[in-house]
Chain A
Amino acid sequence: MGKLISGAEIVFKVLEHHKVEHIFGYPGGAVLPIYDELKNHKTIKHILARHEQGAGHAAEGYARSSGKPGVLLVTSGPGATNAVTALTDAYMDSVPLVCISGQVPTHLIGTDAFQECDTTGITRPCTKHNWLVKDVNDLAKVMDLAFEVATTGRPGPVLVDIPKDIQFKKTNFVLKSSNKKKLNGKSKPNGKISSTDLDKVINLMKKSSKPIFYTGGGVINSGPEASKSLRELVSITGFPITSTLQGLGAYPGDDPLFLGMLGMHGTYEANNSMYSCDLMINIGARFDDRITGKVDEFSPKSKKIHVDIDPSSIGKNIKVDLAVVSDVGSFLKALNKRIKEKHKDFLNSNKQNISKWWKDIDKWRQKKSLSFKNSKEVIKPQYAVQRLYELSKNKDTFITTEVGQHQMWAAQHYKFNKPNRWMTSGGLGTMGYGLPAAVGVQIAHPDKLVVDIAGEASVLMTMQEMSTAVQYKLPIKIFILNNQYMGMVRQWQELLHEKNYSESYTAALPDFVKLAEAYGCVGIQATKPDELDEKINEMININEPVIFDCRVDPTENCFPMIPSGKPHNQMLLGPEDEKEEVSDEGKTLV
């Protein structure tokens, strides 16, 4: 018989086993035994958030920027319910999180005890799996499995709910980690990619004269090697490539083969290529509705290949001609090898085959769909993002965002060259994500420049986390494109609801410079285009948290856009198109 240890200590033993260095959390009654144990584990640092949602997004930012699972520690009841938004966000965007929640003692479960809620019931639809641990002897096994489920297959959040009495109870600590390859914590049937599948993919590529790679967050989640293999594949094929919001950075944003982001606010060339292609190769993306628009008219003439680690992502929204269930990194590596070894003929002919296709694409590029009318009087938000990019691109910069117009402008105008540098809430679209995510990113990368490109409405939702940044001396930069509106809401109201700006204007915004000072950090304000560079440089050079209040044109809209219910080849390019659209409905732009 070994030494008996408490449930709380077991929690840390398993965290240590998984080499966890940081946990994000907030204490409370039902989780105190675990907090009590914290002092005995020096390799694990706890980051105290100001709200459990903030802790959750910080853990997400940490995970997405480092490739390691984020760990979150919250108390029962409101602690757990506050974490739900972050868990759902992580679920939608496939971010590995392990959430440990305290629960009321087992004998009080079901009695409506103080700070009791049905945590496993509430989080069941927003986690890959969750557990209520009712026996301390199960705790080590469950905690270990929690990490396995969160990090294998399509990554995502899990939750372990531990009643307070189980945290106190003592038992022998035994941890048997299996070395078997597992997917979603289940034994993996067959991890190998068949060469038949690879040849099928290559044959479709050979026959194609209008191919396109459509890549997504799966490439990022698969690790930096996957991005390398993707770059190699694109380079040997010469095929054009577009990326989803979550996939940005997997392929260099400034490369000529890159068509920019696709989707509702994607570039004209990316969306038209998706519409007109004869072969679409989806690698680690999920045919989200922001990408497809109306599914009946989505890329009508193409053969579609879909590579995804999650079998349920295949065929969910769009029927495909060839499906490969695989980790995209392993697939890309195998495909590159196969092409080079067995299909040299293809390498000699492919670039010739698609030269006409590139001419079409160049024509679409001529539209310069990301262009905007700049101004000398007022800062255009796109210009602000462009300047931020130019002035920070030589550093290894990490960008987070909130949700809305600023997020789309950041995606359009900030060019990412490496994976894991771009943290944004795509699936759930959580306003208030970016500031706490920046906290998590800075914890994982203490010496890097971390900028939250924010909107003033979003950032107020989790502004309290500035206090966290100040406490841990995290020099995050909150770059607010302040237009005084919920910009995307305002844009939709302008375009679709007869300019009835119902409740989308914030009449009483705080003075962000004073707010920064109140938090004990630095506030900067820019109101004129000609002062922007100097002030951005000032922000970058301050080794403290900064809130940057960038006053931008309040009426600017985010273009290009695919209006709702329209196929990809009918984009609005700017305000001019909008007018035509109203006067002549049904007019197409191509």
Chain B
Amino acid sequence: MAKSKSAYSEPGKLGKSEHHIIVVWVDNEAGVLARVVGLFSGRGYNIESLAVAEVDKKKHISRITIVTSGTPSVVEQIKLQLKKLIPVHKVADFKRNDPNILFKELALFKVVSSKKNREKARKLCKKYNSFILDKSKNSFVIQVTALRREIDKLIETLSPLGLVSTSRTGAVAMTRGSEIFK
């Protein structure tokens, strides 16, 4: 074994990385998003997508939905670290393949191409609850709501059909049934 020149230990075995959706309820105050995001960047955690808006106008509570990936111990750390932040009220953690959770993401696509290709593009979007929001001679803007991976796939298939601009909200999540996360 080559002699280590570091004052630090070598990395141990890594666990298997999994996708998680973390939902955080926070006081909507100045800097709160920076605290949450800074915790991720400072500790080297991933953010794949981020959606945030105030959901309770009276109590000024915002709901932040973060899609992240990490080993089980990293995800556990993320939750515990988030819970320590002063403006954080509660933290929920869902696995991406949890059947009891609804995940949705909204995307806008601008397609500029021939009539034929636009027609193809429109058809591809059809099953994702699509609406045409704007039309011109040679383009349209279409809205879809779907799972993240479905939108990933759509982007791939729309690219050769004249997709010129994409905007996505990042995933939001909610539990099925009458229960709410406490």
Contacts and interface: CB of A to CB of B under 8 A. Distances in A.
Please list the 9 inter-chain residue pairs (A to B) with the smallest Cβ-Cβ separation, ordered nearest first: A312-B80, A296-B12, A565-B4, A129-B86, A564-B4, A294-B9, A295-B12, A565-B10, A496-B5
A125 B30 CA distance: 16
Nearest to A493: B5
Given A496-B5, A565-B9, 6 more contacts: A184-B86, A293-B9, A311-B83, A319-B73, A564-B7, A565-B4
Contact of A310 (B30, B76, B84): B84
B1 A184 contact: no
A128 B35 CA distance: 11
B31 A564 contact: no
Given A125-B38, A125-B42, A186-B86, A289 B81 contact: no
B77 A316 contact: yes
A293 B31 CA distance: 37
A572 to B, nearest CB: 12
A294 B12 contact: yes
27 contacts: A121-B34, A124-B31, A124-B34, A125-B42, A129-B86, A149-B86, A184-B86, A289-B8, A289-B9, A294-B9, A294-B12, A296-B13, A311-B80, A311-B83, A312-B77, A312-B83, A315-B73, A315-B76, A316-B73, A316-B77, A319-B73, A564-B6, A564-B7, A564-B10, A565-B9, A585-B1, A586-B1
Interface of A: 120-121, 124-125, 128-129, 132, 149, 184-186, 289, 292-296, 310-312, 314-316, 319, 492, 496-497, 563-565, 585-586
B38 A312 contact: no
A316 B76 CA distance: 8
B3 interface: yes
A564 B5 CA distance: 8
Nearest to B89: A186
A319 B77 CA distance: 12
Nearest to A149: B86
A311 B83 CA distance: 9
A82 B53 CA distance: 36
A168 B73 CA distance: 49
A322 to B, nearest CB: 16
Nearest to B77: A316
A132 B29 CA distance: 11
Contacts of A311: 80, 83-84
For chain B, give the interface size range. 20 to 34
Given A316-B77, A564-B9, A120 B31 contact: yes
A273 B91 CA distance: 39
A378 B102 CA distance: 74
A124 B12 contact: no
A294 B10 contact: yes
A552 to B, nearest CB: 22
Given A185-B86, A186-B86, A310-B84, A496 B12 contact: no
A306 to B, nearest CB: 13
Interface string B7-48: 111101100000000000000001100110010001000000
Nearest to A129: B86
Contacts of A186: 86
A566 to B, nearest CB: 8
Given A120-B31, A124-B35, A319-B73, A312 B8 contact: no
B124 to A, nearest CB: 44
B22 to A, nearest CB: 14
Most chain A Cβ neighbours within 10 Å, of B9, B77, B81: B9
Interface in B52-104: 73, 76-77, 80-81, 83-86
A311 B4 CA distance: 33
Given A289-B9, A563-B4, A132 B83 contact: no
A41 B23 CA distance: 47
A139 to B, nearest CB: 15
B9 A312 contact: no
B153 to A, nearest CB: 36
Nearest to A296: B12
B5 A497 contact: yes
A132 B86 contact: no
Contacts of B42: 125
A292 B84 contact: no
Contact of A565 (B6, B81, B83, B86): B6
A157 to B, nearest CB: 13
Nearest to A563: B4
Contacts of B83: 311-312
B25 to A, nearest CB: 13
A312 B30 contact: no
Given A295-B12, A296-B13, A312 B4 contact: no
Nearest to A294: B9
